[in-house]
Amino acid sequence: MPSEFDLIYRHFAHLGAGPAVELSVGDDCAILKLEPGERLITSLDTLVEGVHFLPDTFPEIIGYRAVATAASDLAAMGARPLGMTIALTLPDAEEFWVHSFSQGLAEAVSEYSLPLVGGDTTRGPLTVSVQVMGAVPVDQALLRSGAQVGDEVYVSGTLGDAAGGLAFLQDEWRPSRDAAAYLVERHERPTARLALGQQLLAVATAAIDISDGLLADAGHIAAASGVAIELESAALPVSPALAEAGERAITWALNGGDDYELCFTLPTGVPAPEGCVRIGTVVAGEGVQIDADIDTGAGYQHF
Amino acid sequence: MPSEFDLIYRHFAHLGAGPAVELSVGDDCAILKLEPGERLITSLDTLVEGVHFLPDTFPEIIGYRAVATAASDLAAMGARPLGMTIALTLPDAEEFWVHSFSQGLAEAVSEYSLPLVGGDTTRGPLTVSVQVMGAVPVDQALLRSGAQVGDEVYVSGTLGDAAGGLAFLQDEWRPSRDAAAYLVERHERPTARLALGQQLLAVATAAIDISDGLLADAGHIAAASGVAIELESAALPVSPALAEAGERAITWALNGGDDYELCFTLPTGVPAPEGCVRIGTVVAGEGVQIDADIDTGAGYQHF
C-alpha cells in the first residue's frame, strides 16, 4: 500500500521525460540511453538543512539549488545531461512544502535537461541527495588532472557572489538594496555551467566547478595535475554588487564557496569562451599562490 | 578542508575498482563504461533506521543489506552490474561503526560486482541511500509490463523467510534454534538474484523482485501488464525452517516483504532456471487471486 511519502513522490512523476529516457519512474529501474562511444558520468551530492542551506529556506529554492549544485559536477566534466534521481528525506508531508519544492525541481529539470527518473522519499530531517547522470565521448571527459605547466587558468562569470549573498542573509554585511538582491539570487539560485562545460571538452586541459572556493578548488586541480597555480589578484572577476564590499570582495572571491562557476586550464593561445577571464598561470611546483598579501583564510599558501 | 565525514568516506575508497569503472572517487564525477548497444539501468533505494531496519542493527548487516536490496532492482531488470554510489547520513563518526559498516559494504561490493564509485556523507539520523547502475542490451530489459495471458508464473528460492526472521527478532514467534538462525540470516542478509536476472533476460516476459511481498509484487506485474495472476497456494515454496510456523508460513510467503527473490513469467513450455518453481498462471482480468481461503492481509483479492 503506498505510504504518504510514496504519494508525495508522485507529485514529481511528470518531471521524468527526456530525450535519453527510455523508461522513467514506475518499474524496478529506469532505463537511459547513451550514444555509441559515450561513457556514463555520474555524481552524487547531498544537501542537509542547516549545513548546506539555511533553515527555513524557501522550498522552491531548495529544490532548484539541489539540482543546480549536482548538475555543476556534470558541467565540470563536460558531460551532456541524461537524467537524475533524488533521495528526499522530509520531516513531514506538508502539501505546501512539497508543491513549492516540486516547482523548484521542475525549473531545474527544464533548465538543465535533467529529467527525474527515480527516487525515494523517507521521513526524517530535511535532506536532499541528488544523483546526476550524464555522458561524454570516450576519453574526452574534463578531469582535474590534465593541467600542464604553461597553461593559462580561467574562470567563468564572477567570483564570491554567493558568499556575499550569504553574508547579507546572515546579517554580516549590508550592501545596497540592488546589490543584496543580486547577490542573494546568486547564492540561492546558482547556475550550473553545463553548456560551457561541453564547449570546453575539446580544448580545456583540466576543469573543476567552484564549490569550495577558488583557492581550494584551484588547489584540487594543482594537486591532481602535479603542478602549481599562480593567481593574479587583479584579474579576479568581481561583480559590481560584490565590489561594494571593498577588500572583503577579494577574500570572498578567493574563499567563498557555492559559486558553481568553472575554473579551467587552456593551453597558451587557445581563446577562452565568452564570459570567461584569465586569472593566472600553471607553473611547476605545488599548491596555489597569489600575488597579494590578503587574507586568504587558513590552510592556503600566498605570497 | 576535509571534514570528519569526508575522512570517513575515504574508508570506502578501496571499494571503487571494477571492470566498468574508468574513473572512480576523486574527481567531480565517476566515469563508467557501457558496452556498445547497451542501455543504462539505474535505481535508488533508501533505508532508514527504525523504518527499513531495526534500531541497533549491527552496522555490517546494514552495509550489506543496503547494497543487496538496491542490487535486487538491477536483478529484476536483468541488468549486469556496473557500480553504485551511496549517500550516507550518520549521527556521528564513531570508528567502530564506520569500520563494521564498511566491512558489510565490502562483502556486498565483491559479491554483487558493484564497485562504490561515489558518495556523500552527512550528519543526521542513520539513513543509507544506494543508487545502483547496471546495463542491459537495448530493448532487452525485463519489465513488469510484458506478462501475457497463458504465461506461467515462477519464483526463485523460498518465500516468507525474511518475515519469519523478523517475527522472531521482534519476539512474535519462537521457532527452533536452527530455524531461527536460518530465518534471521535470510532477513538480515538477503541475496540479490543478479545472475538469475541476467539468465532470464532472453526468456522471461516480465519480472519483479519481491520486496513488498508476493501478492503486492505479483499485483504490480498484473497491473503493468493488464492481466490477472492466479496463484496456487500449494505450489508456494516454503523453507523447512519457515514451515515450523504452520499456517502462518503461507501468510508470510504471500505477504512478507524483503525476500528479494524474483517473481517472473515465462511462456508455456519454456523451462524454468534451476532453483525456481512454478506458482501460478497468467489469465485475463486484473489483480491477483489465490485458491485458498487464507488470511492474505488487507487490500488484496483472494478466492
Q: Does A224 fall in a domain?
A: yes
Query: Are A61 and A116 in a shared domain?
Result: yes
Kindly report the average pLDDT of chain A as a whole number: 90
pLDDT confidence of residue B294? 63
Asked if residue A302 is part of any domain, the answer here is no
In this prediction, residue B52 carries a pLDDT of 78
For residue range A160-190, what is the model confidence (pLDDT) as tens digits? 999 999 999 999 999 999 999 999 999 999 9
In this model, does residue A300 exceed pLDDT 90? no
Predicted local confidence at residue A4, as pLDDT:
56
pLDDT digits (tens, 9 = 90+) for B235-245: 999 999 999 99
Q: What is the mean pLDDT of residues B126-137?
A: 94
Let me know if residue A280 belongs to a domain. yes
- Per-residue pLDDT of A278-298, as tens digits, reads 999 999 999 999 987 665 554
CA B173/CA B158 separation, integer angstroms: 19
**Higher-confidence residue: B96 or B163?**
B163
Please report which confidence band the pLDDT of residue A262 belongs to, taking 50, 70 and 90 as the band edges: very high
Q: Report CA-CA distances (Å) from A211 to A214, A261, B130.
A: 8, 8, 24
Q: What is the mean pLDDT of residues B144-158?
A: 97
The pLDDT value recorded for residue A297 is: 52
Distances (CA, A) of A41 to A80, A158, B31, B172: 9, 27, 5, 47
- pLDDT given for residue B248 in this prediction: 93
ipTM value: 0.86
Neighbour count for residue B268 (Cβ, 10 Å):
10
B133 and chain A in contact, CB less than 8 A:
yes
Domain residues for A93?
4-137
Note whether B29 contacts A: Cβ–Cβ < 8 A: yes
Do B107 and B166 have their domain in common? no
Q: Which of residues 225-284 of B touch A (CB under 8 A)?
A: none
**Which domain-ending residue is among B108, B137, B166?**
B137
Bridge partners (DSSP) of residue B43 are B132
Residue finishing a domain among B137, B170, B187: B137
Residue B92 confidence class, pLDDT cut points 50, 70, 90: confident
Whether A293 has a binding-site annotation, put simply, is no
Please name the residues between 189 and 228 in chain A that touch chain B, using a CB distance below 8 Å. Answer: 208-209, 216, 224
- One domain for residues B109 and B157: no
Same domain, B205 and B259: yes
| Domain-embedded: residue B76 | yes
Q: Tens digits of per-residue pLDDT, A96-149?
A: 888 899 999 999 999 999 999 988 888 888 889 999 999 999 988 899 999 999
Res B1: pLDDT: 36
Q: Which amino acid is at B299?
A: G
Calculate the alpha carbon distances from B135 to A27, B19, B87, B205, B291 in Å.
Answer: 15, 13, 22, 18, 38
| Nearest of A162, A144, A24 to residue A73 by alpha carbon | A144
Query: Rounded distance, CA A58 to CA A12, Å?
Result: 18
Same domain? For B177 and B100 the reply is: no
CATH number of domain containing A223: 3.90.650.10
Please indicate, yes or no, whether residues B104 and B75 belong to a single structural domain of this protein: yes
What nine digits make up the cell of A86? 533524488
Task: Identify the pLDDT of residue A172.
Answer: 93
**Residue A79 covered by a domain:** yes
Check residue A303 and give its pLDDT: 35
Domain identity same for A188 and A226? yes
Q: B162 and B281 in one domain?
A: yes
Same domain, B273 and B182: yes
Give the tens place of pLDDT for each residue, A217-245: 999 999 999 999 999 999 999 999 999 99
What domain count does chain B have? 2
- Same domain for A112 and A191? no
Residue of B133, B124, B131 lying closest to B40 (CA atoms)? B133
- Distance from A13 to chain B by nearest Cα, in Å? 15
Q: Is residue A93 part of a domain?
A: yes
Q: Is residue A83 part of a domain?
A: yes
Identify the pLDDT of residue A302. Answer: 30
CA A207 to chain centre: 12
> What is the arithmetic mean of pLDDT over A19-41?
89
Q: Confirm or reject contact between A118 and chain B (CB < 8 A).
A: yes
Give the end of a domain, one of B137, B171, B206. Answer: B137
Nearest to A122 among B41, B46, B131 (CB): B46
Say if the Cβ atoms of A141 and B74 lie within 8 Å.
no
pLDDT for B152: 98
Using one digit for the tens of pLDDT, what is the confidence trace for B218-275? 999 999 999 999 999 999 999 999 999 999 999 999 999 899 999 999 999 999 999 9
Residue A300 lies in a domain: no
Instruction: Please name the residue of chain A whose CA is at the shortest distance from the CA of residue B219.
Output: A1
CATH classification of the domain holding B105: 3.30.1330.10
Identify whether residues B47 and B174 lie together within a single domain.
Answer: no
Same-domain check for residues A171 and A45: no
The 10 Å Cβ neighbour count of residue B272 is 17
